[in-house]
């Protein structure tokens, strides 16, 4: 085998493993990113969407935020106009969280209709334009 052919084998090996790592990575860690409206439509046709880890992007419904600092529990409702879901979250919410922001909620919708969030990301709508973050 010439050096060129050997190199081609090595290159294929690298390209192949990059491809494999990417494909398996997406399969194992990819999460649906839905709006509440999309989620309610999916749930209606396919109940297996309960208990699946996903991200839901929506705005917080004004006046629905209740915060118990002592137990670190945060309850609020999110909506995109088409559907509304209650969310419950344990932990420290981000600085920018309040009842008028866009949020991305990471968690699972349980059959009781509540999204149990493991993470809440907030985007401050009015003044936080895509600021270079890193």
- x/- mask, another protein, residues 114-133, rule CB under 8 A, reads ---------xx--xxxxxxx
> Binding another protein by CB under 8 A: which of 44, 48, 70, 112?
70
φ, ψ at 131 (rounded to 5°): -80, 140
Which listed range, 44-52, 63-71, 81-89, 109-117, lies at the site for another protein (CB under 8 A)? 63-71
Q: How many residues bind another protein (CB under 8 A)?
A: 46
- Applying CB under 8 A, among 38, 59, 86, 108 the residue interacting with another protein is 38
Identify the burial level of 109 via C-beta atoms within 10 angstroms of its C-beta, where 0-12 means exposed, 13-18 middle and 19 or more buried: buried
Neighbours of 15 (CB within 10 A): 10
Our finding on whether 45 is near another protein (CB under 8 A) is no
DSSP structural state of residue 2: -
Beta-carbon contacts of residue 53 (< 8 Å; ≥ 6 apart):
31, 106, 107, 108
Strand, coil or helix: 45 = helix
- Residues in contact with another protein by CB under 8 A are 3-4, 6-7, 10-11, 14-15, 17-18, 21-22, 24-26, 28-34, 38, 55, 57, 69-72, 91-92, 94-98, 123-124, 127-134
């Amino acid at each position: 085998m010439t050096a060129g052919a050997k190199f081609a084998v090595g290159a294929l090996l690298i390209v192949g493993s990059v491809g494999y790592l990417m494909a398996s990575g997406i399969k194992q860690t990819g999460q649906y990113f839905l709006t509440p409206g999309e989620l309610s439509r999916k749930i209606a046709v396919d109940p297996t969407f309960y208990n699946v880890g996903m991200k839901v992007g929506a705005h917080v419904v004004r006046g629905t935020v209740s915060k118990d600092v002592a137990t670190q529990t945060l309850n609020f409702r999110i909506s995109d106009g088409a559907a509304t879901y209650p969310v419950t979250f344990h932990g420290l919410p981000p600085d920018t969280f309040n009842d008028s922001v866009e949020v991305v909620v990471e968690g699972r919708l349980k059959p009781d209709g509540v999204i149990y969030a493991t993470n809440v990301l907030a985007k401050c709508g009015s003044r936080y334009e895509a600021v270079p973050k890193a």
